[in-house]
Amino acid sequence: MILNDILGRDVMDSTGQRLGEVSDVRFALDAAPAQLLSRARMVGVVVCPRTATSFLGYERMDVNQPWPLAQLLRWRHRGSFLVLWEDIAVMGPDGVRLRSAFMAYESTLPR
């Protein structure tokens, strides 16, 4: 599986209702340290209801300038949420289908 297989694809819930597109895939380096960096475990998928195009960095909470652009991009990406790996039923070029009892989490990055 490569990331291009799922980036930008539709995300649907278990009934087939479209929820948005995959705008990013989140990883955490929280396993035991390996030789250099620890393993990058997939945490989940960031879903954007409108568009998958790049956040240009405003996802990070501390980038607020230039103000008009930040506001515009935050508005375009409003309603984005994170879905954890455990709630994904199928992933592939035809889209991502979630399990019936999935939970939506905030997608802003911890810092």
Partner 1 sequence: MRKAKPIPVQDIRPAPRPAGLVLDAQLHLLDRQVLDVDDVPVTTVDDVELSGPAPGEPIPEGTEAPHITALLTGAVLGTRIFGGRPPSSRFIRIPWEVVAGVDTVVSLGVRANSLDASWLERWMRDQIIAKIPGGRHDPE
Partner 2 sequence: MKRLLGVALGILTAIGGFVDIGDLVTNAVVGSRFGLSLAWVVLVGVVGICLFANMSGRVAAVSGRATFEVIRERMGARAGLANLAASFLINLMTVTAEIGGIALALQLASGVSYMLWVPFALIAVWLVIWRVKFSIMENVAGLVGLSLVVFAVALFLLKPDWGSLASQALHPSVPSEEGPGTYWYYAIALFGAAMTPYEVFFFSSGAVEERWKVKDLVQSRINVLLGFPLGGFLSLSIAACAAVVLLPAGISVTTLSQVALPVIQAGGQLALAALLLGVVAATFGAALETTLSSGYTLAQFFGWSWGKFRRPAEAARFHVAMIVVLLAGVAVLTTGVDPILVTEYSVVFSAIALPLTYLPILIVANDPQYMGKHVNGRAVNIVAFIYLVIILVASVAAIPLMIATGAGA
Residues in touch with partner 2 (CB under 8 A) = 53-54, 56-57, 60, 62-63, 65-69
Q: In the complex with partner 2, which residue's Cβ is closer, 69 or 90? A: 69
Q: In the complex with partner 2, which residue's Cβ is closer, 16 or 110? A: 110
- Taking Cα atoms as reference points, which of 50, 43, 1 lies closest to residue 21? 50
CA distance 13 to 103: 11
Using CB under 8 A as the binding rule, whether residue 73 contacts partner 1 is answered as: no
Question: How many Å is the maximal CA-CA distance in the chain?
Answer: 44
- The residue count for the chain: 111
State the minimum distance, in angstroms, from the CB of residue 67 to partner 1: 20
